[in-house]
Amino acid sequence: MASVEVRQDQVSGRAARRDDYEVVVIGGGIAGLTAGALLAHAGKSVLVVEADEKPGGYAYTMRSGGHTFDRAVHLISSCEPQGPFGQGVIDAVLRELGVRDQCEFIRVDPFYMARYPGFELAVPCGTEPFVEAHVRHFPGEARGFRRLAELTREIYREIVASPMSPRWSDLARMPLRARALFRYRNATMKDVIDLELSDPRARTVYATMWPWVGTPPSQTSFLMWGAFMGSWVEDGSYYCRGSYDNLAAAFVSGLEQSGGELLLGTSAVQVLTDDRQVSGVELDNGQRIASRTVISAIDARVTFEELLAPDELPTRFLRRLRALELSPSALAVYVGTDLDAHALGAHHDASIYRGWDHERIYAQSLSGGVPAVFMMVPSLTDPALAPPGEHVVIVQALAARESGETRPDEARIAEQMLQLAEQELPGLRDHLTFIEPAGDPSAPHPKVHRLGPLYGWKLSPAQTFLRRLPPHTPIGGLLLAGHWTQPAHGIFPAVESGIQAARLTLGARTAAPPLPLGLKPRAASGPSQPAGRT
């Protein structure tokens, strides 16, 4: 399985092969590649434009000196042909495109290690193992842990079975057909956890993975948490052998095998419109591309505030956009080590906390502290990611939202992040063999990379699922995909958003669950019309 190979006709300075396409996709992350590949597979002429020199977005991979680092993605789910609720959506799309054989997904179980002062717990997949692992430490909370596991399973099941863009009639039936989604639509994690668990430490341990949804229990939608935990516990967690580059490469193959085009190192600088209807895009190389459908899979703020003139959007829409809250960012360091991670009992994924108060940890993180880190040693799962006798280590910490606010004290931040990571890998700082991007273990400190806003909009009850920006926009023919739109952040939700953008473009049924894909237009004859306005 080869990683993404950048061809000469994809790099900066090259123009698109044509001046008109039926669909232009802005952004070559997983959502944009999904939409572009599915539409090309359906017979549309498609151009995907990506500003970076490689596709993938947060599934981007860095390679140097025999070390392979995933930029941001830890683990994924919904990628197997048969799960507890049917086929995984990632598996379905890869098979539809004829590229499933390009990806091998390795199951990771336990899927994370939770570390607190004087406490550790390796958390397995599967409802019964998950409950039993927690109850061994908190025997008096058996009913609560089981209840929470059942709730998250039900939320995940209902989401998988629910229409992605429900009609009013679907919403009217929601109290009967999707009872958990309806009941907990306004609830936070804290609301439900506090109801089901009485032991403060049991509550803390159960909520260990909250940084993977960006905000602490008091601010995070329980529906988002339920979908997140339900997918990991029920479907299982997986790593893509060879890194997530291979997942991006599979989508690129699907795009190009169907006649689609990928243009790398090129940005869109303007979405062209005529009377609030898309007419094309202008690229940073000066080329103007005519198109009646544009799918934006980049930062929604850039789409609406920079690629369009303010007077092209309704005032009410702009007010809503500017009122939305952003998710936090993350800081990351990428290093190699010659420590024997297997012998030290390290895990693929570990969450390490200095204390037991998640709300305080969140506040300290946003004010520049490092009260917790979230580290990955993916070479434990896939040894080929590192040279023989070494491992790759990725250490992340939450941070304030915007990179322009303050520049972090990199030396202090990196030292604190690696110091805390030594609870999982003792002696790490004395056994660095590689530092990304310098590759020099004698460098004064690792470079601190900023990722974010990592999840797009904050995942509060007011900004989750149907309360997120919809895929259709006030501009006719302009659609959204990715974690700035519905349903949420993450790889398989990004794939789902790409499916929905493809459905809207083709005029296919959108008030349907993600699977089956259902990408045939409802009208059997004639070309599909551009996606309509809100």
Tell me the pLDDT tens digit for each residue of 145-165. 999 999 999 999 999 999 999
Backbone angles phi, psi at 188, to 5 degrees: -95, 165
Angle at CA of residue 95, ends 94 and 100, nearest 5°: 65
Q: Among residues 427, 434, 231, which one has the least CA distance to residue 341?
A: 427
Contact assessment for residue 514 and residue 496, using Cβ atoms and an 8 Å cutoff: yes
Is the overall model pTM greater than 0.85, yes or no? Answer: yes
**pLDDT tier for residue 520 given thresholds of 50, 70 and 90:** confident
pLDDT in tens, 24-48: 999 999 999 999 999 999 999 999 9
> Over 60: is that where the pLDDT of 13 sits?
no
pLDDT for res 65: 87
Q: Which range is least confidently modeled, 111-115, 451-455, 527-531?
A: 527-531
- Rounded CA separation 287/289 (Å): 6
> Quick one: pLDDT at residue 524?
40
Give the Cα separation of 314 and 294 in Å (integer): 19
Q: What pLDDT, on a 0 to 100 scale, did the predictor assign at position 291?
A: 98
Amino acid 338: pLDDT:
98
- What is the average pLDDT score of the chain? 92
Given strand 288-290, what is the order of strands in its sheet? 268-273, 278-283, 288-290
Q: Quick one: pLDDT at residue 438?
A: 64
Beta strands 449-451 and 478-480 are unpaired
- Which residues neighbour 497 within 8 Å (Cβ) at sequence distance 6 or greater? 31, 34, 35, 297, 471, 480, 481, 482, 483, 485, 486, 487
pLDDT mean over 75-80: 94
Which fold is adopted by the domain 8-59+244-324+458-506? FAD/NAD(P)-binding domain (3.50.50)
Q: Note the helical H segments in 18-124.
A: 30-41, 89-96
pLDDT value of position 439: 61
Q: Which two tokens stand for residue 187?
A: 């609830």
Give me the mean pLDDT over the 41-64 stretch: 95
Q: Residue 528: which pLDDT band, with cuts at 50, 70 and 90?
A: very low
Which token pair is 53? Answer: 């020199």
Is residue 512 pLDDT above 80, yes or no?
A: yes
Place of tokens 């341990």: 205
Q: Are strands 23-26 and 372-376 parallel, antiparallel or unpaired?
A: unpaired
Please report which residue ranges of 272-357 form alpha helices under DSSP H.
300-305, 315-323
pLDDT of residue 4: 58
CA nearest 76: which of 507, 496, 369? 496
Q: Whose structure tokens read 């990955």?
A: 376
For 178-189, what is each residue's pLDDT tens digit?
999 999 999 999
How many whole angstroms separate alpha carbon 326 and alpha carbon 329? 9
Q: What is the mean pLDDT of residues 498-520?
A: 94
- Find out whether 452 and 327 touch, Cβ atoms under 8 Å: yes
For 328-451, CATH number? Answer: 3.30.519
Report yes or no: 102 and 253 within 8 Å, Cβ to Cβ. Answer: yes
Question: 241, exposed or middle or buried, with CB in 10 Å at 0-12, 13-18, 19+?
Answer: middle
**Rg of the Cα trace of the chain?**
23
The total number of residues shown for the chain amounts to 534
Residue pLDDT, tens place only, 431-475: 999 998 766 666 677 888 888 888 999 999 999 989 999 999 999
Strand ranges inside 36-90, DSSP E: 46-49, 61-64, 67-70
User: Which carries the bigger pLDDT value, residue 158 or residue 4?
Assistant: 158
Q: Note the pLDDT of residue 408.
A: 61
pLDDT tens digit sequence for 329-377: 999 999 999 999 999 999 999 999 999 999 999 999 999 999 999 999 9
Distance between CA atoms of residues 415 and 285, nearest Å: 42
Q: Of all helices (H) and strands (E), which one includes residue 205?
A: helix 200-206
Is residue 425 within 8 Å of residue 344, measured between CB atoms?
Answer: yes
Each domain of the chain, given as residue ranges in start order, spans: 8-59+244-324+458-506, 128-235, 328-451
- Contact between 422 and 429 under an 8 Å Cβ cutoff? The reply is yes
Burial class (CB in 10 A: 0-12, 13-18, 19+), 274: exposed
